[in-house]
Amino acid sequence: MSALAIVTMLAICLFVWGGFTAFLICAIRSEGRKRLEKD
């Protein structure tokens, strides 16, 4: 693979998959906090 393709692949995949993962972690932590508040 060319260097440009590798860089673009990493950028796109990190942004999309990384973004999803980051939002998912935020949601998990938020749910954990809400559960603690309820208890």
Partner 1 sequence: MSGGEQFRSRWGLILATLGMAVGTGNIWRFPRIVATNGGGSFLIAWVVFLLIWSIPLMILEFSIGKRARKGTVGAFAMIAGPRRGWMGGWVALCATAIMFYYSVVAGWCLRYCFAALRGELTGADPARFWESYAGTYEAFFTHAAALSLAVVVVWFGVRGIEQVAKVLIPLLVVLVVVLAVRAVTLPGAAAGLEFLFRPDWAQLGDVRIWLQALTQNAWDTGAGWGLILTYAIYMKAREDVPLNACLIGFGNNSMSLLAGIMVLCTVFAVNPGAREEIVGAGNEGLTFIWMPQLFERMPGGGFFMVFFFLALTFAALTSLIAMIELVTRILIDAGWPRRRAVGLVALGGLWFGAPSALSLDFLHNQDWVWGVGLMLSGLFFALAARRFGLEKLRREVVNADGADLRVGRWWSFLVAVVVPIEAVVLMVWWLWEARGWDPAGWLNPLRPETVGTVLVQWAIALVALLALNRWLSRAGSSDREVAG
Which spans of this chain sit near partner 1 (rule: CB under 8 A)?
1-2, 4-6, 8-9, 12-13, 15-17, 19-20, 23-24, 26-27, 30-31
Which of residues 16 and 36 has its CB atom nearest to partner 1 in the complex? 16
Which of residues 27 and 39 has its CB atom nearest to partner 1 in the complex? 27
Backbone φ and ψ for 14, nearest 5 degrees, come out as: -65, -40
DSSP assignment of 1-39, as one string? --HHHHHHHHHHHHHHHHHHHHHHHHHHHHHHHHHHHH-
- Least distance in angstroms from the C-beta of 36 to partner 1: 15
